[in-house]
Amino acid sequence: MSQGPGVLAYLRSRGFPFLLVTNTSRMSANDILEKLTGLGYRVHTDEVLPVSLAAAEYLNQKFGAARCFLIGDESLARLLEEHGHIVSRKEESADAVVIGQSLWANFGEIDIARRLALQGAEVIALHRDATWPDGEITRIGLGPIVAAIESVIAGSVTIIGKPQRTFFDAALSRTGFVREDTVMVGDSIASDISGAINAGLRSLLVRTGNSAKDAVPPGCDGALDSIADLPQWCDSHFPN
């Protein structure tokens, strides 16, 4: 069984629906779909849930059309605007400070975010992952930026993506999956596996990411050396 595309083809052949969830804030669902299609995957838009979309929907539910001070790249700005939000990179009245991945956030932006938070803006980070892979380079993620802002404001930062239970709840709501029958397959204990356990989902650790050598945490259903091993695991646990 080939990795990636072959595994998804297997899931379809068994009638196992799936949703691809990701903490990336630099690509929309359509961007992700286009990239996956180019890699040979057959995926539909409604089978992808990026954290950027979850953030836009959170803002819609909370504010309607929100005035946002953005720390993030242009792809996130476009997505927010497509959902009716007003995006600014200047120090002006805002309902929310939205923090997504960029190369790089600077302390001038954090300085503005602090003052806007003191004026009542909600500080929202798409996730707080410590690092992210950029080709062969591992770069710092949103975690250090969130920590910097938390150190200078009295309130807390709203986190949208994994491992937040609300993100998993949004995924279940979107799909209609039954919580206790849903398996989160991921390569990060911190964001994928711990988040799934806390949300009441089953989970499988894939040892190809930053948790390759870590022990399987209590509550996790097991570990796979590769995503290509998922069909064998499914055949063993769901023979019918």
Q: Is residue 175 part of a domain?
A: yes
Convert the pLDDT of each residue in 75-93 to its tens digit. Answer: 999 999 999 999 999 999 9
Q: Is residue 23 part of a domain?
A: no
171 and 116 co-located in one domain: no
Q: Which of 25-34, 111-120, 148-157, 199-208 has the lowest mean pLDDT?
A: 25-34
pLDDT, position 1: 40
- Last residue of some domain: 110, 131, 159? 159
pTM: 0.88
Long-range contacts of 205-212 (CB under 8 A, 24+ apart): 210/131, 211/187, 212/187
101 and 129 co-located in one domain: yes
> Is residue 166 scored above 80 in pLDDT?
yes
The Cβ of residue 199 has, within 10 Å, a number of other Cβ atoms equal to: 21
Nearest CA among 92, 90, 100, 89 for reference residue 123: 100
Q: Which residue has the higher pLDDT, 57 or 209?
A: 57
Work out the pLDDT band at 3, boundaries 50, 70, 90. confident
Convert the pLDDT of each residue in 20-35 to its tens digit. Answer: 999 988 888 888 999 9
User: What are residue 48's DSSP bridge partners?
Assistant: 20
Q: Which two tokens stand for residue 48?
A: 């992808």
Parent domain of 70: 62-159
